[in-house]
């Protein structure tokens, strides 16, 4: 791919609540401050007419920021699909609405696409704890619970099975080959703490394009806010259970071998090492050691329970999701001049 195409990056930010107004403004500002300028920023509003109107007023005079209504069913996946369809870039990046990107975020993404086989590049997501510091009991191995990069992922720029959706980018042709994000599997505001829609998409993509390369570059950094409510064990447990439900749905669709490929290494290597560190810290009277070890064990058991129940539901046809083809902006080709 030529350099002009690499530089054409659309950024999609999906939003749903006015409670995150200041966060949304900060997210957009961080995109506009990139060392490699984005072609455009698309704010996709998820079935909230008041927020849609307010953001439209806020950015009506701002060049390269577009405000759109989610054209599909309620939820993050449909919002992302709306952004993909409306975007004009050859690379489409996704940023959470409660996160800010470091200045070279898009530049590091773009570098990954120098190889035409690369279909997706993800980055590193760092938590900003509402309390000002990580809870002593909260294990880094479970930072995915709060939407952040977790301990156990390899460092540097490396090949992965899937990227993490809140800090990711895809080549447009990836969606041409595999379709969009599946609806019925991802988040719906704060009501369904499910996930794995990006995992399912990435597995579907590599099946459609066996030569595809997916990368994570830990230099592409964003900082993600963790609200106070998510610093408590109750949310930790709920999110771990929901992850098990989601993984069961994905495994039912793509097969357990591929659907749980990365999770096996995580469960057999990363988590036992985390428990051992926690117990060592407890023996050395370091704060939170026993809590971290216990949280890892509880998280595994809770996720396993969700997976078992989700597997039963999936076999009975109780939980389903659907994949939609992305219909692009008819004016996109003309915008390439």
pLDDT in tens, 136-156: 999 999 999 999 999 998 899
* Distance, CA of 7 to CA of 1 (rounded, Å): 10
Task: Record the pTM.
Answer: 0.89
Q: What is the pLDDT of residue 238?
A: 94
* Rounded Cα gap, residues 153 and 155, in angstroms: 7
Give the chain's residues under pLDDT 70.
1-7, 184-195, 253-260, 314, 317-322, 328-337
Q: Is 326 strand, coil or helix?
A: coil
The contacts of residue 231 (CB under 8 Å, 6+ apart) are 129, 130, 131, 135, 138
| Cβ partners under 8 Å of residue 96, min gap 6 | 13, 27, 125, 147, 166, 167, 222, 224
């Amino acid at each position: 791919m030529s350099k002009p195409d690499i530089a054409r990056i659309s950024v999609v930010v999906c939003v749903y609540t006015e409670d995150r107004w200041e966060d949304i403004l900060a997210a957009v500002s961080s995109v506009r401050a990139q060392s490699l300028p984005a072609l455009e920023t698309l704010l996709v509003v998820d079935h909230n007419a008041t927020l849609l109107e307010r953001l439209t007023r806020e950015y009506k005079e701002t060049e390269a920021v577009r405000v759109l209504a989610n054209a599909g069913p309620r939820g993050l996946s449909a919002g992302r699909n709306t952004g993909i369809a409306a975007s004009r870039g050859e690379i489409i990046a996704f940023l959470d609405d409660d996160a800010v990107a470091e200045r070279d975020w898009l530049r590091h993404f773009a570098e990954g696409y120098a190889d035409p086989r690369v279909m997706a590049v993800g980055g590193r997501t760092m938590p900003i704890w509402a309390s000002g510091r990580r809870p002593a009991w909260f294990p880094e191995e479970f930072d995915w619970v709060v939407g952040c990069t977790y301990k156990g992922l390899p460092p540097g720029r490396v090949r992965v099975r899937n990227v993490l959706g809140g800090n990711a980018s895809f080549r447009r042709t990836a969606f041409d080959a595999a379709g969009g994000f599946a609806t019925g599997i991802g988040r719906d505001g704060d009501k369904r703490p499910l996930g794995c829609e990006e995992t399912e998409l990435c597995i579907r993509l590599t099946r459609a394009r066996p030569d595809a390369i997916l990368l994570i570059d830990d230099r592409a950094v964003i900082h993600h806010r963790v609200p106070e409510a998510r610093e408590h064990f109750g949310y930790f447990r709920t999110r771990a259970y929901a992850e098990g439900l989601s993984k069961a749905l994905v495994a039912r669709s793509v097969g357990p071998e591929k659907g749980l490929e990365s999770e096996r290494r995580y469960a057999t290597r990363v988590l036992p090492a985390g428990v051992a560190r926690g117990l060592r810290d407890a023996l050395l009277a370091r704060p939170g050691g026993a809590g971290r070890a216990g949280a890892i064990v509880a998280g595994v058991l809770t996720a396993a329970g969700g997976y078992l129940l989700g597997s039963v539901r999936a076999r009975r046809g109780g939980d389903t999701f659907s994949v939609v083809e992305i219909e692009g902006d008819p004016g996109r080709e003309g915008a390439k001049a």
